[in-house]
């Protein structure tokens, strides 16, 4: 058996093992609903049927802001990606600066940043709504605020804890500051960076849905709230499952990128 076939079989085996608890969960859900009062929880079979009908819908349903569920998904993802990208750029830049060449600035600014991080994002959503309104700018700002801190602190901590022996060895071989940064500091910091990215992904999805539920005219959070207002249990629970699936997909993407990046790091540090 060659290596490719063996890897494929191992992947399929892991996939089957991972699917068993999920299938059992939905089976228990389907069976357990009949013991609950009617109108509390919809069974998975009806949820999947309703969601499938929504996904293939080409004409928006009434009271959905003239958008299908895929249109609302596009709105939410656009806001998430814009806020997340801004948090990524600012968090990585400031994290590397504080963790490497600007230690006095770190001692000055880090306590303030820690206090800002502790502010409850839900508590400041009304502040963002007053400043930016209830449209895209407010949602992007909320995602940025929530995702910025894990990226910043994990990057700063990783850059600060780079092995000093590696730094001295690179300097002794005449490495410039740029080469030292790209060839030693960045590869060594990658595990911490990806930890921050995964945490930022989770809070970004969480906050975009929360902000859209509280005040919006489109997006998956708004769509979820509308289904609750019209007592459509199937689509309400289906939207929750769909949002969860999107978060899992994004985490899987970052997991794949992390594995590739860490192989690059190992190659550079050999």
Q: Do residues 167 and 184 touch, judged by C-beta distance below 8 A?
A: yes
Model pLDDT, residue 152: 93
Cα–Cα distance measured from residue 245 to residue 249, given in angstroms and rounded to the nearest whole number: 6
For 64, which DSSP code? S
Cα–Cα distance measured from residue 220 to residue 212, given in angstroms and rounded to the nearest whole number: 7
On the question of pLDDT at 262 being above 70, the answer is no
Instruction: Tell which residue, 161, 126, 158, 163, has the closest CA to residue 142.
Output: 126
Average pLDDT over residues 235-249: 88
CATH number for the domain running over 41-269 = 1.10.3720.10
Q: 247 CB contacts (<8 Å, ≥6 apart)? A: 201, 202, 205
Least confident stretch, 14-18, 172-176, 194-198: 172-176
On the question of pLDDT at 162 being above 80, the answer is no
Q: Compute CA distances 228 → 30, 235, 252, whole Å.
A: 21, 9, 30
Cα–Cα distance measured from residue 193 to residue 254, given in angstroms and rounded to the nearest whole number: 11
What does the DSSP assignment read for 125-164? HHHHHHHH-SSHHHHHHHHHHHHHHHHHHHHHHHHHT--H
Higher-pLDDT residue of 11 and 223 is 223
Model pLDDT, residue 265: 52
Average pLDDT over residues 174-195: 79
On the question of pLDDT at 56 being above 80, the answer is yes
pLDDT tens-digit readout, 69-85: 889 999 999 999 999 99
pLDDT tens-digit readout, 7-49: 777 777 887 887 888 889 889 988 888 888 877 888 999 999 9
Number of C-beta neighbours around residue 11 at 10 A: 10
Model pLDDT, residue 1: 56
pLDDT tens-digit readout, 117-130: 888 877 888 888 88
On the question of pLDDT at 178 being above 60, the answer is yes
Model pLDDT, residue 229: 80
């Amino acid at each position: 058996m060659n290596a490719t076939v063996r890897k494929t079989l191992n992947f399929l085996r892991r996939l089957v093992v991972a699917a068993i608890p999920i299938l059992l969960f939905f089976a228990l859900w389907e069976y357990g609903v009949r013991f609950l009062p009617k109108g509390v929880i919809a069974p998975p079979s009806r949820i999947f049927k309703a969601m499938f009908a929504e996904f293939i819908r080409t004409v928006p349903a009434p009271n959905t802001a003239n958008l299908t569920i895929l249109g609302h998904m596009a709105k939410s993802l656009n806001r998430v990606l814009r806020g997340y990208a801004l948090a990524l750029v600012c968090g990585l830049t400031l994290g590397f600066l504080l963790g490497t060449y600007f230690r006095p600035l770190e001692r000055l600014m880090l306590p303030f940043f820690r206090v800002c991080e502790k502010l409850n994002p839900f508590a400041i959503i009304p502040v963002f709504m007053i400043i930016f309104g209830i449209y895209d700018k407010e949602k992007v700002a909320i995602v940025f605020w929530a995702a910025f801190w894990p990226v910043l602190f994990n990057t700063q901590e990783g850059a600060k804890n780079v092995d000093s022996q590696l730094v001295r060895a690179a300097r002794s071989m005449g490495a410039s500051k740029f080469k030292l940064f790209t060839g030693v500091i960045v590869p060594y910091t990658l595990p911490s960076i990806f930890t921050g990215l995964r945490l930022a992904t989770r809070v970004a999805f969480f906050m975009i849905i929360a902000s859209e539920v509280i005040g919006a005219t489109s997006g998956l959070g708004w769509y979820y709230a509308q289904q609750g207002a019209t007592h459509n249990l199937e689509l309400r629970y289906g939207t929750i499952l769909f949002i969860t699936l999107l978060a899992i997909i994004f985490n899987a993407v970052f997991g794949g990128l992390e594995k590739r990046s860490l192989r690059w790091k190992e190659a550079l540090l050999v």
